[in-house]
């Protein structure tokens, strides 16, 4: 698996190896306002990676806590009224934050909230192709949390969202697509077993938030995607099925070394 990038960057590029080293040196506090289905897996994935997770999603505390965190995830998987208010607080803190617009498009409450939160300029938007298309106003969403569009179908929508927010947009799929104003990267590889474990994609958004505490948004999105691909491939080789894969994936997140990553990236610098 090789990550291919094209760029005319206005800011220095941080390699995935350097980004992972920086994360493990600083163990950034990463606030997760995320869905009820994935909190445990997300927290364990961040711990395995080397970050420090905090599931602080209570109105009256979320904004205060976001000011202390290095990165924030806002995941719209189960957007209760309290979580919606907590998200509004957190994104005003000025901390780099990730928007994961889960199932946006067909469902009105989360769709309205996602469009509202865009005005707070997320550092990274991470979703599948159907979610990115719907968020950009170019599609109606997928089938629940599942995409019905190919990754490259969302390239134009991703670029439009990146231009609007000034950040990066990551489109997850068999080949992850990451764009910002200057760069386009594709991250192939990874195991399909990630799609059979609850929280594989949601935890990726949390990892991007953790990396956003130490590197630029586009480098954070690329590095998290590369780490997910490497760790999931290794976990799949030892797993008997989704259950053992989930455990092995956490082990491989902890085991992946910075030196494992840079050989996966090529392209203009």
199 is in an annotated binding site: yes
Residue with tokens 């220095």: 12
DSSP state of 146: B
166 is in an annotated binding site: no
Instruction: Name which of 138, 159, 160 is nearest 149 in CA terms.
Output: 138
Rounded to the nearest angstrom, the gap between the alpha carbon of residue 104 and the centroid of all alpha carbons in its chain is 16
Torsion of CA 203, 204, 207, 208, to 10 degrees: -140
Query: Phi/psi at 179 (nearest 5 deg)?
Result: -135, 155
SS3 at position 158: helix
55 is in an annotated binding site: yes
Rounded to the nearest angstrom, the gap between the alpha carbon of residue 110 and the centroid of all alpha carbons in its chain is 18
Rg (CA), the chain: 17
Which residue spans within the chain are E strands per DSSP? 3-7, 29-33, 52-54, 71-75, 97-100, 124-128, 168-172, 175-179, 183-188, 265-267
172 is in an annotated binding site: yes
Instruction: Name which of 163, 164, 154, 161 is nearest 181 in CA terms.
Output: 163
**Residue 61: partners with Cβ closer than 8 Å, 6 or more residues away:** 86
Q: Does the CA dihedral 201-204-209-215 come out positive or negative?
A: negative
Task: Go through the chain and tell me how many residues it has.
Answer: 269
Residue with tokens 């474990």: 197
- Binding-site residues for ATP, in ranges, read 126, 172
- Binding-site residues for substrate, in ranges, read 55, 199
- Binding-site residues, in ranges, read 55, 126, 172, 199
């Amino acid at each position: 698996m090789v990550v291919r990038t094209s760029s005319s960057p206005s800011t220095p590029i941080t390699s995935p190896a350097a980004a992972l080293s920086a994360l493990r040196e600083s163990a950034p506090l990463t606030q997760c306002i995320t869905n009820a289905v994935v909190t445990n897996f997300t927290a364990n994935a961040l711990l395995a990676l080397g970050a420090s997770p905090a599931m602080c999603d209570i109105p009256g505390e979320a904004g205060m806590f976001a000011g202390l965190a290095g990165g924030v995830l806002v995941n719209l998987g189960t957007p209760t009224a309290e979580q919606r208010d907590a998200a509004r607080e957190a994104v005003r803190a000025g901390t780099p934050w990730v928007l994961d617009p889960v199932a946006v498009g067909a469902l009105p409450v989360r769709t309205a909230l996602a469009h509202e939160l865009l005005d707070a300029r997320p550092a990274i938007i991470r979703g599948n192709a159907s979610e990115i298309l719907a968020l950009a106003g170019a599609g109606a969403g997928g089938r629940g949390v599942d995409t019905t569009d190919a990754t490259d179908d969302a390239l134009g929508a991703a670029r439009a969202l990146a231009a609007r927010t000034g950040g990066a947009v990551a489109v997850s799929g068999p080949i992850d697509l990451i764009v910002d104003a200057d760069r386009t990267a594709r991250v192939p590889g990874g195991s399909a077993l990630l799609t059979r474990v609850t929280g594989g994609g949601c935890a990726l958004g949390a990892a991007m938030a953790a990396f956003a505490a130490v590197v630029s948004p586009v480098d954070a999105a690329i590095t998290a995607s590369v780490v997910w691909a490497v760790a999931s491939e290794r976990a799949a080789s030892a797993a008997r099925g989704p259950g053992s894969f989930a455990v092995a994936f956490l082990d491989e997140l902890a085991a992946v070394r910075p030196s494992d990553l840079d050989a996966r990236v090529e392209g203009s610098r």
